[in-house]
A = this chain, B = another copy of it.
Amino acid sequence: MARVVDDADEQLTGPVLVVGAGLLGTSVGLALRRAGHEVLLTDVVEHNVTIAAGVGAGRPLTHDDTPRLVVVAVPPDHLGPEIIRALQAFPSAVVTDVGSVKSAPLVEVRAKASEEELGRYAGGHPMAGSERSGPFAASASLFDGRPWAVVPHAGAAEASVARVRALVRACGATPVALTPDEHDAAVARTSHVPHLLAALVAGRLVDAPAAQLVLSGQGLRDVTRIAGGDPGLWRQIVSANAAAIGALLGEVRADLDRLTDAVRAGRGDEVARLLDRGVAGTAAIPGKHGGPARADALVYVAVPDHPGELARLLGDAGTIGVNVEDLRIDHDPARPVGLVELTVAEHRADYLVDALEERGWTAHR
């Protein structure tokens, strides 16, 4: 069970070493520098360190440095060896990583690390990224408000886990505790399989006549955006999480078979059921900050029943700065005044009522 962790851990102190100055590593550096921390950088590609340092993500690692925390930010195939190397090279440091898969690298680490070393390792995975890659795409605000999975194995020391949580908070993200197996099943569903299906949708565009693509709209761009991600990286992710992904793809294939048959046979009710499930699925996605999906509230306003007044009400709501999500009008043919029902975010409803009353409207919840 995922737990959003709310206790205040230790403050992050001492230099943090980022191993791998790509998109994620450089963004970690930028976020930590923004928070005033000392950041050291290393990468097998020296050029990446130069850019990352150039954009302000830290300074190159020297032999005299003693990091208290090492963040391994390398491609999935290299996670295991680089975590082990960091545990051995910096015997007083806690080691974490930002890899997209957790169980497979852990098997490698367990096979080679001592019990003491294992106690100093606690994995992590920020739920943030970009279809672009490399240090130049990095941003100090990449993790702001995003969930960041903190994924300790059974042998991790609690002090190590606390230090990783401090890193997560210093980067502006929200720590979410998961076991490695829970994590890998979760990202198969919320990230890896969506990525693969986006790639299949995009792949169907390759041989399309140009005439057809002229009609591409924003919906198509949204569905396919993540399919532009680095295929080399995604190949490694898929390989490292093949069991969970393969199982889910089987479920999608069963759904697709049902859908295809229903479309071809003209069984509209069955098509509608699959569409309804899609709507329910979008509603199940939690709000942006990892909390529950946002609750709506209704605000009722009495409005003289002619068009100009409705426009004036909406204008006032706009001026007040509350976003109206939906609107319904209840007509009472016997009266020259109608009741308008405004749907707004729960936490803005009281404010809207007060502000409308101040402007002379009769409003209530």
- Chain A interface residues (CB < 8 Å from chain B): 1-2, 4, 47, 50-51, 53-56, 125, 127-129, 131, 134, 136, 146-147, 149, 176, 178, 182-183, 185-187, 189-191, 193-206, 208-229, 231-232, 234-235, 238-239, 242, 245-246, 248-253, 255-257, 259-260, 263-264, 266, 268, 271-272, 274-286, 290, 307-311, 314, 324, 326-327, 329, 331
Interface residue SS majority, chain A: helix
Closest to A47 in B: B329
User: For A185, what are the chain B residues with a Cβ–Cβ distance below 8 Å?
Assistant: 212
Known: A128-B217, A327-B136. A186 touches B212 (CB 8 A): yes
Q: When chains A and B are docked, how far (Å) is the Cα of A178 from the Cα of B195?
A: 32
Q: When chains A and B are docked, how far (Å) is the Cα of A184 from the Cα of B255?
A: 24
Number of copies: 2
Closest to A313 in B: B54
Residue of B147, B219, B226, B278 near A200 (CB, 8 A) is B278
User: For A47, what are the chain B residues with a Cβ–Cβ distance below 8 Å?
Assistant: 329, 331
Closest 6 CB pairs of A and B: A199-B278, A202-B281, A54-B310, A186-B212, A2-B211, A203-B277
What are 12 A-B residue pairs whose CB atoms fall within 8 Å in the complex? A136-B324, A136-B326, A147-B216, A191-B220, A193-B204, A196-B259, A196-B263, A208-B284, A222-B225, A229-B279, A231-B276, A242-B266
Smallest beta-carbon distance A4→chain B, Å = 7
Smallest beta-carbon distance A57→chain B, Å = 10
Closest to A330 in B: B47
A249 touches B260 (CB 8 A): yes
Q: When chains A and B are docked, how far (Å) is the Cα of A33 from the Cα of B284?
A: 38
B219 touches A176 (CB 8 A): no
Closest to A281 in B: B202
User: For A51, what are the chain B residues with a Cβ–Cβ distance below 8 Å?
Assistant: 310, 327, 329
B286 touches A224 (CB 8 A): no
User: For A2, what are the chain B residues with a Cβ–Cβ distance below 8 Å?
Assistant: 210-212, 214-215
Which of A200, A208, A253 counts the most B-chain CB atoms under 10 A from its CB?
A: A200
Q: When chains A and B are docked, how far (Å) is the Cα of A285 from the Cα of B204?
A: 11
A129 touches B235 (CB 8 A): no
A54 touches B311 (CB 8 A): yes
User: For A218, what are the chain B residues with a Cβ–Cβ distance below 8 Å?
Assistant: 128
Q: When chains A and B are docked, how far (Å) is the Cα of A176 from the Cα of B217?
A: 13
A198 touches B278 (CB 8 A): yes
User: For A310, what are the chain B residues with a Cβ–Cβ distance below 8 Å?
Assistant: 50-51, 54-55
B266 touches A256 (CB 8 A): no
User: For A329, what are the chain B residues with a Cβ–Cβ distance below 8 Å?
Assistant: 47, 50-51
B223 touches A219 (CB 8 A): no
Known: A146-B217, A202-B277, A203-B277. A246 touches B271 (CB 8 A): no
User: For A206, what are the chain B residues with a Cβ–Cβ distance below 8 Å?
Assistant: 277, 280-281, 284
Smallest beta-carbon distance A11→chain B, Å = 25
Q: When chains A and B are docked, how far (Å) is the Cα of A279 from the Cα of B290?
A: 29
Known: A1-B211, A182-B211. A202 touches B282 (CB 8 A): yes
Closest to A210 in B: B2
Q: When chains A and B are docked, how far (Å) is the Cα of A176 from the Cα of B242?
A: 44
Q: A203-B281, A206-B280 are in contact. List 13 more A-B contacts (CB 8 A).
A: A136-B327, A176-B215, A190-B213, A196-B274, A202-B280, A203-B280, A204-B252, A213-B286, A228-B283, A231-B278, A235-B268, A235-B271, A253-B257
